[in-house]
Structure 1
Amino acid sequence: MAAKTKQTPMMAQYHRLKSDLPEGAVLLFRLGDFYEMFFDDAKVCAEILNITLTQRGATPMCGLPHHAADNYIGKLLAAGRMVAMCEQIEEAVPGKLVKREVTQILSPGTHFDEKMLTAERNNFLAALSREGKAFGLAVIDLTTGDFKATEMADTAALQAELERLKPSEIVHPTGDSSLVAAIAGSRAVINEHEGWVFASDSAGYTLRDHFGVQSLDGFGLKNRPAATGAAGGALHYLVNTLRRDVAHLRQLNFYEGHDFLTLDSTTLRNLEILEPLTRDAPNAACLYHAVNQTVTPMGARRLRDWLTQPLANAAAIHARQLAVQTWVEDGPRLELLRNRLREVRDLERTLTRLSVGTGNGRDLLNLRFAIEQFPGLRSLIDEAHGEAGELELHDAEDVPLLTQLAAQLKELPEVVALIARAIVDEPPLALREGGIIREKFSAELDELRGGASEGKEWIAQMQKREIENTGIPSLKV
């Protein structure tokens, strides 16, 4: 019998890490300045990424430079693949195996790739569950922190809501044939997850542990086992399967279907709510583009949500009409409001990048610019509402919508001052370039910078002396 081929320590490490991944995930294995893929992963990546497939012995392999990894990862995600990032967690020492760990797993519904994200659309991960005849649906957008759940009575309502939300990825309990049938026509990437995590008891524990609460009643999930199962299953999938940081998910909203007018996929398409009916029509030939006058990506996402989920409650409709009418009748002040909102930009995604550690100095500056607008925005809202006393929508909410919004704008002068004092006016895009922190902000950092610059100057002087001593103009130190 032929002797079994002995594995190198590195390949044994690779197989151990690969065996812990979800089925179908591609492992990007960090080797120095490259990410390497082996075996079937190499074949898949070479075909999708159009890179050279090589072979060492009997092992197929291919690689890509780590500094250009984002572009390649985006292509893998666009092809519907999950991508596991395996990083070196210690400095390489000759003759010793470097410790490596899978730090996160990216998927189509959970990535932060700005080149793939659309500013005016959410990138949802959807989770489904079933309890008796009720279907539970939860959606999470990691890029904005949106986390909401609902329940539906039948398959048609579930399909209509999925068509409205258009998630990039759907996860469901293993072996639930009714859910599999309900999403059979979906264009989203579909993944299975362990069924027990969607059970209302275990899912409820997951949610209570995450939010640090004793009861989920405050989130609207009392007597909502299907919605609880979907929300808890989504959170478990993110944390335990994809190994993602979800600390920035601090709110869960439950919404009732009867609060809104349900628009199924046929209605959305025939009424041309979000896109034109015919393929040869321009993209702007739809209701969304006709009425979209928003000046921030957050506003554009909210408009899409409102158009596809019209209110069905008269009081809520009147409250919104009152807010709109206030600005329609005060054009000059509306323009001032819009100018300030432009500086707020996409605050949701900026905050998320900073919260999960993928932000940079420019995100900190954008945060400062956004917070600086809050006092002015609040003042404009208060002035506009104060002059809107003649409006006759008396059955609107007792506390007007604009007043509620103004109350949520908290001035944070200490945060603005800290960022202004710490961050340079034009920080580099990449953190590794340095130069983000102002001089004199940190004495310890200034000392380290001084040592680095003085060391370079010392080497330059030494090189100059040696060139003079040796007479070799091309000498390098």
Structure 2
Amino acid sequence: MDEALGPPPEMAEKADELTPMLSQYLDLCERYDEALVLFQVGDFYETFCAAAETTARILEITLTQREDSTGTYPMAGIPVDSAESYIETLLDAGYRIAIADQVEDAEAASGLVDRAVTRVVTPGTLTETELLADADNNFVACLTDGYGLALLDVSTGDFYATTLDRLDAVADELERFDPAEAIIGPDAPTDPFGADCMVTPYERSAFGLDAAEAKVRSYFGEGRLAEDAEIRATGALLTYAEYARGVGTDGETGRLEYLTHLTRYDPREYMLLDAVALRSLEVFEPRHVHGLAGAALVKTIDETASALGGRTLRDWLRRPLLDADRIDARLDAVGALRERVEDRERAGELLADVYDLERLVARVSRGRADARDLRALESTLSVVPDLRECLADATADSELLATIESELDDCADVRELIDRAIAESPPIEITEGGVIRDGYDETLDELRATEREGKAWVDDLEARERERTGIDSLKVGHNSVHGYYIEVTDPNLDSVPDDYHRRQTLKNAERFYTPELKEREDEIIRAGERADDLEYDLFRSVRSEVAGATERIQRTASAIARLDALRSLATVAAEHGYRRPTIGADGIEIDAGRHPVVERTGGPFVPNPTELPAEKPMAIITGPNMAGKSTYMRQVALTCVLAQVGSFVPAERAELPIVDRVFTRVGASDDIAGGRSTFMVEMTELAAILEDADANSLVVLDEVGRGTSTRDGYAIAQAATEHLHDAVGAYTLFATHHHELTAVADGLPRARNYHFSASRSPDGVEFEHDLRRGPAEASYGVEVAEMAGVPASVVDRASELLDEPADERATEPTEVGAANARAENASTDGGREELLAELAAVDLAETTPLDALNLLSRLQSELR
């Protein structure tokens, strides 16, 4: 991408000879050398030289040329009025965009029109509604060495900072917040960032402790951050956000006044859901099976009516609580709203009319809000009194709802100002009139009256002139080039009075003006232009006054957001039979628990109990494939997550401990690009669990040791089971096909065996999806193979082999057996020669990268 960035060499070499406009373009390219500069020339944003060639190619627009005394330069442009769609395409191609607007009226300018970069558009600093993909947060992250991490949503003002102790913890936080962009300091790692995140080293000076600390202090005062690393990350991120803001349409630079709140948090203050757990539990994104996506937990419980509520609910899911009092406060609020159906439904209707206050006030504060934005702000604030009324009864049963009700400020003074100043249905453009209400400003009213009176005089002129001249076909008209005119056809020219002055000649007519018409025209134009200019000044004044109430509006936005999230949880609880959990219990006890997502798929769902008391926190679960083991374990984990979010849970009864972390090892996956097999990924995840889990954690294991030989796999599974039991003591659900583990569990005092029942019938296996005590009697693997369509001959042979004693089963040299024999033979010189011959015979031209990797892995294994 670098070919389109930085100052054009062709221009830089002739800097002293360039025209003033191109010199101005070159200067902006030098100052914003990491961005693609879109340079306003009239109604178009233009690019030049290599940037033009790149722009034309990516946007599929025409490449033209600009020629002057210094040379000929490639040029490509996009219309200012429809720039957003083009900018989105450039962002998707991986570019930052510096928007260089004309900040001076071209007609009023004497000489070169002044231009300045009014915003730098990057994936993580978007504020434009058209470019933001949805209502969810759009974070830009900043990471330093020492693992200081800051995250900012420029569109809403949400701002977080923390210091982490290791790299995998950084990866977990980035998975939770999913930033669209990141800047990194000197020596900071790039490994934890996903492929969809634009990562860029930022200027070293922004990460200096003194500079960063001064920047943080200027926004948030003293003592907000504890660690040097997070101070450097936060300060550098503020500097970057100011850089992206540009000079602003008001000509001011720098400070973002709406950044009024910084949340310094410790991930250990919340339930930790690492990247593996978020994915395997499908909290935010569903898994794709055979190309088909299911549903994510967030979609299942999201009944929010506003963008504000939706973002808050996602934030709660990112960071479930560990404090029992805070959890119970949310549960009280959900319970109060659940019982008050009419108030809850009325609140939902009101919230559906709420605009995104956080993004609205951010645009107001940045000087980018238009008149319709202010009207949307007033409309949203106007529902606040009714929302407070909806909460009047519920506050008696919930301190949290009482707090929210007290924070719902309708900002009556702001509403009154907007309603008095801004037209009810204003135009989009704020510079072309029609924005300010009649009666708001006396001078504006006088100018409008003058303009109206002048136009009324012109409207009556046609009738008067026809009567005066006797020309019945005479017409009075107006166009943008010649202004007002009186048109007379050629046959009637002899009747034209002496005070008519020729203005324009047409094919069959002449156009005239009179001194009085010209005077009225000048009066109308002057009044209209002055009115438009005054309206713009008045609008900016109103917008600035509204911006002064930013903190109050943000508090109201926060209250609305929490109310909507709580109302959503109450709605889900009421409509789907969720029950209030008891928090802080000594163990996990769930009656008739259900999976919140799977139960909504339409088919029958069999509820199941869970009993993991503190004295026996481990369950070894056996049973056939498709019996429901994985679904069951996930539903227990999701029940704990929902409870600590403050939600009722899908169960008849739930008594739950406060879980500090949920670990999962579920399903098969690999990392071919990273050189890791399925088994290596499995072992890496298992290692993290065994190292980090403690007695307050919930561990979900779905098969361990299946990616290697049966003997090795069972040994690993047993050793892991014993370690979790003896050394960790976590609440553990371990599903396995290693039936030998059931005997191990019988010998462990804090473990129990459970199984999912199934039975044989003439039609095959019937899965009852019912959890019972004790180990499973069989795996029913052959029956499942038959149901899956495995050929009858294979099924019959497998059944025969199962009926034989293990030591009598035939060991014919199958393909697998032959491979094993070759592996044993590989230790001899002859075996190595065979492998070398096989390698020499490979046709590399016909071998895909994946086939080559698999071949190399097999040969290496055989040599070992």
Taking structure 2 as the reference length, what is the TM-score of the superposition? Answer: 0.49
Pairwise mapping of residues 50-65 of structure 1 onto structure 2 (< 5 A)? 50-56=60-66, 57-65=71-79
Whether 2:424 is the aligned partner of 1:425: answer yes
Equivalent residue letter for 1:128: L
Query: What corresponds to 1:7 in structure 2?
Result: 18
Whether 2:196 is the aligned partner of 1:187: answer yes
Query: What corresponds to 1:41 in structure 2?
Result: 51
- Structure 2: tracts of 5 or more residues without a match: 1-12, 247-253, 463-474, 477-484, 497-507, 514-864
**Separation (CA, whole Å) in 1 of partners of 2:140 and 2:217:** 20
Equivalent residue letter for 2:206: V
The C-alpha deviation readout for 1:26-82, integer Å capped at 9, x for no partner, is 111111222110112112211221111123454221112222222222222232211
The C-alpha deviation readout for 1:374-414, integer Å capped at 9, x for no partner, is 2222233231122x38xxxxxxxxxx222221221124222
Verify the 8 A CA contact 2:172 2:273 in the aligned structure 1: yes
- Structure 1: tracts of 5 or more residues without a match: 390-399
When residues 88 and 419 of structure 1 are mapped into structure 2, their CA distance, relative to the original with a 3 A threshold, is: closer
Whether 2:138 is the aligned partner of 1:164: answer no
C-alpha displacement of 1:181: 3.3
Moved more, 444-453 or 465-474: 465-474
**Separation (CA, whole Å) in 2 of partners of 1:247 and 1:476:** 55
**Separation (CA, whole Å) in 2 of partners of 1:356 and 1:476:** 49
**Separation (CA, whole Å) in 1 of partners of 2:112 and 2:436:** 35
Query: What corresponds to 2:91 in structure 1?
Result: 77
Whether 2:266 is the aligned partner of 1:229: answer no
C-alpha displacement of 1:241: 6.0
Equivalent residue letter for 1:239: E
C-alpha displacement of 1:457: 5.3
Of all paired residues, the percent bearing the same amino acid is: 36
C-alpha displacement of 1:344: 2.4
Whether 2:136 is the aligned partner of 1:121: answer yes
Query: What corresponds to 1:329 in structure 2?
Result: 339
Taking structure 1 as the reference length, what is the TM-score of the superposition? Answer: 0.87
Query: What corresponds to 2:707 in structure 1?
Result: none
Of residues 143, 164, 171, the one that matches 1:152 is: 164
Query: What corresponds to 2:118 in structure 1?
Result: 103
Query: What corresponds to 1:394 in structure 2?
Result: none
Moved more, 228-237 or 117-126: 117-126
Pairwise mapping of residues 34-433 of structure 1 onto structure 2 (< 5 A)? 34-56=44-66, 57-92=71-106, 96-131=111-146, 135-173=147-185, 175-176=186-187, 178-183=188-193, 185-211=194-220, 213=221, 215=222, 217=223, 219=224, 221=225, 223-240=226-243, 243=246, 246-278=256-288, 285-386=295-396, 388=397, 400-433=399-432
When residues 312 and 204 of structure 1 are mapped into structure 2, their CA distance, relative to the original with a 3 A threshold, is: same
**Separation (CA, whole Å) in 1 of partners of 2:458 and 2:32:** 48
When residues 433 and 283 of structure 1 are mapped into structure 2, their CA distance, relative to the original with a 3 A threshold, is: farther
Equivalent residue letter for 1:337: A
**Separation (CA, whole Å) in 1 of partners of 2:43 and 2:206:** 38
Verify the 8 A CA contact 1:22 1:241 in the aligned structure 2: no
C-alpha displacement of 1:167: 0.9
**Separation (CA, whole Å) in 2 of partners of 1:455 and 1:119:** 48
Equivalent residue letter for 1:69: A
Structure with larger Rg: 2
Verify the 8 A CA contact 1:53 1:60 in the aligned structure 2: yes
Give the structure, 1 or 2, with the largest relative contact order (CA under 8 Å, sep 6 or more).
Answer: 1
Query: What corresponds to 1:395 in structure 2?
Result: none
When residues 280 and 248 of structure 1 are mapped into structure 2, their CA distance, relative to the original with a 3 A threshold, is: farther
Whether 2:487 is the aligned partner of 1:467: answer yes
Query: What corresponds to 1:397 in structure 2?
Result: none
When residues 456 and 476 of structure 1 are mapped into structure 2, their CA distance, relative to the original with a 3 A threshold, is: farther
**Separation (CA, whole Å) in 2 of partners of 1:373 and 1:75:** 37
Query: What corresponds to 2:550 in structure 1?
Result: none
Query: What corresponds to 2:545 in structure 1?
Result: none
**Separation (CA, whole Å) in 2 of partners of 1:288 and 1:233:** 32
C-alpha displacement of 1:455: 4.8
C-alpha displacement of 1:476: 7.7
Equivalences, count: 450
**Separation (CA, whole Å) in 2 of partners of 1:339 and 1:148:** 32
Equivalent residue letter for 2:233: A
C-alpha displacement of 1:456: 4.8
Equivalent residue letter for 1:146: D
Moved more, 148-157 or 358-367: 358-367
Equivalent residue letter for 2:280: N
RMSD: 2.5
**Separation (CA, whole Å) in 2 of partners of 1:476 and 1:349:** 53
The C-alpha deviation readout for 1:410-429, integer Å capped at 9, x for no partner, is 24222222222222222223
**Separation (CA, whole Å) in 1 of partners of 2:332 and 2:60:** 55
